[in-house]
Amino acid sequence: MSLAVETLLHPFGNGVLDINDGKTAFLNAVYHPDISALKGGDLYLQQYFAPSCNELVQAGFSVSPDIPSKYKSYDFVCILLPKNMVEARYLMAHGSRLLRAGGVLVCAADNKAGGTRLKKLMQKFGFDDLYDDARNKARVVWGIANNLDEAELNAAILAGEEKPVLGAEFISQAGIFGWDKIDKGSQILSKYISSDLKGKGADFGCGYGYLSDFILSHCKKIKQFYCIDADYRAVELCRKNISKYECKKEFLWCDLTKPQDKVANLDFIVMNPPFHNGKKTDISIGQSFIESAHKSLRRGGHLWMVANAHLPYEEILKQSSFECNKLHEGQGFKIFCAVK
Ligand SMILES: C[S@@+](CC[C@H](N)C(=O)[O-])C[C@H]1O[C@@H](n2cnc3c(N)ncnc32)[C@H](O)[C@@H]1O
């Protein structure tokens, strides 16, 4: 687990930065026990990723996927920077705009995820007097908002906003999974999915909606379709990208490693599950997706799935009581159609 959040909170914990009764926003917030150091005044927590939100909520915090809209009103803005540089600059630009004159921007990142470049990034936005601290293979840098470079802030916000991609076929946003491309695994899966799909189905981990769009454009007998993802932005993009299809659609922002009781008795599920937790391959996420899919399907329902060829999904599908049919293996992927 990244300890960049501990690094970010350190200057508050040791009294170098004092929240007092100030107004603070924490963007891309994740739970850490030291977060209590931010609790002094009015605290706003923002997070797009449902599992991280759930941890904060369990610890008694309220959290929103929306970046606050009231500019120039915060004393402190803390940002745990994501690795994607367009997304990181987008959050920093919004964070800078949220600060009142004289407010403090506090950013942290793992060294390998931009931490070593943090000072330069902040200087580009016009933060001149910068302070920093390094620990846990991460760096925290903070500075006072005085003469911000408005043109640079505008450019960063523009670059990180939703925009047309792939010849304007989809709308997407930097920071979500494979935001400006078609995933190769999903593309191969789409060639094997039956055009006979009908009834009630779902796309587990829908992203911006490539597979959902493919299915709804090819399978005209679908009555009801759920698009589900842990990334709030992905769910909202998918909503826009498939708005032209007329079947009943539902969009859910939730963690599919936990069974979703709301989504039951499905005829089919399509999925390209994540198999990474940060940089590490983590088969347990795919395993939990498969278990959730099993609970959501009716008996006889079908799970259409793509997986990286080196991962042992056959065993996992069988352990989860699926009858496992492999339709294809090649180009680094396996395609399964498993029956409950
Ligand atoms: C490999 S991508 C597939 C995206 C999309 N279906 C496509 O083909 O482009 C996996 C998706 O799962 C989502 N995801 C990751 N962890 C999740 C979780 N715990 N619950 C639900 N969705 C999750 C990611 O946000 C991502 O959109």
What are the start-end ranges of the H helices in 181-231? 184-192, 210-218
Cα distances from 55 to residues 2, 59, 121, 196, in angstroms, run 15, 6, 29, 40
pLDDT score of 127: 95
Complete edge-to-edge strand list for the sheet that includes strand 42-46: 42-46, 23-27, 74-80, 99-110, 138-144, 130-135
Determine the Cα angle at 49 with ends 92 and 282, to 5°. 115
Per DSSP bridges, beta strands 276-277 and 221-229 are unpaired
Kindly report the CA angle at 123 between 83 and 76, in degrees rounded to 5? 75
Per the CB < 8 A criterion, the answer to whether 303 and 340 are in contact is yes
| Amino acid 279: pLDDT | 59
Closest ligand 1 atom to Cα of 212: 6
- Give the pLDDT score at 283: 85
Rounded CA gap, 256 and 289, in Å? Answer: 6
Q: How far apart, in Å, are the Cα atoms of 128 and each of 121, 144, 146?
A: 11, 8, 9
pLDDT at site 191: 97
231 CA: nearest ligand 1 atom = 25
**In angstroms, rounded to a whole number, what is the distance separating the alpha carbons of residues 137 and 130?**
19
Give the Å distance between the CA of 241 and the centre of ligand 1: 16
In testing the pocket of ligand 1, which one of 53, 232, 256 has its CB within 8 Å of the most ligand atoms?
A: 256
Atom of ligand 1 nearest to the CA of 178: 9
Answer yes or no: is the C-beta of 297 below 6 A from any ligand 1 atom: no
* Centre of ligand 1 from the C-alpha of residue 249, in Å: 18
Cβ-based neighbour number of residue 280 at 10 Å: 7
- pLDDT in the model for residue 41: 81
* CA-based nearest residue to 227, from 267, 257, 279, 263: 263
Nearest CA among 220, 191, 186, 223 for reference residue 204? 186
* Class of the CATH domain delimited by 174-339: alpha beta
Strands lying side by side in the sheet with 266-271: 248-253, 221-229, 198-204, 266-271, 297-308, 333-339, 323-330
Distance 330 CA to ligand 1 centre (A): 22
Residue 33 is predicted with a pLDDT of 94
Q: What is the number of the ligand 1 atom nearest to the C-alpha of 271?
A: 6
The rounded Å distance from CA 12 to ligand 1 centre is: 34
Whether residue 211 has its Cβ less than 6 Å from ligand 1: yes
Would the CB of 207 count as within 6 Å of ligand 1? yes
The reported pLDDT for the residue numbered 151 is 98
- The residues of the chain scoring below 50 in pLDDT are none
Q: Identify the pLDDT of residue 280.
A: 64
User: What pLDDT score does 39 carry?
Assistant: 85
Cα angle at 150 between 112 and 118, to 5 degrees? 15
**pTM metric for this prediction:** 0.96
Ligand 1 near 270 CB (within 6 A): no
Nearest CA to ligand 1 atom 24: 205
CB 210 less than 6 A from any atom of ligand 1 = yes
For ligand 1, atom 25, name the residue with the nearest CA: 231
Domain limits, the chain: 4-160, 174-339
pLDDT (0 to 100) of residue 278: 62
Q: Which atom of ligand 1 is nearest to the CA of 285?
A: 19
**Same fold across 4-160 and 174-339:** yes
DSSP codes joined into one string, 27-88: ET----GGGGGGTTSEEEEE-SBHHHHHHHHHTT---BSSPP--TT-EEEEEEE--S-HHHH
Q: How close is the Cα of 285 to the center of ligand 1, in Å?
A: 10
Q: Give the angle 185-188-193 at the CA atoms, nearest 5°.
A: 115
Residue whose CA is at the smallest distance from ligand 1 atom 12: 205
Q: Whose CA is nearest to atom 3 of ligand 1?
A: 272
What is the CATH number assigned to the segment(s) 4-160?
3.40.50.150
Output the CA torsion 282→288→291→295 (10° steps).
-160
Instruction: Supply φ then ψ for residue 84, to 5 degrees.
Output: -65, 120
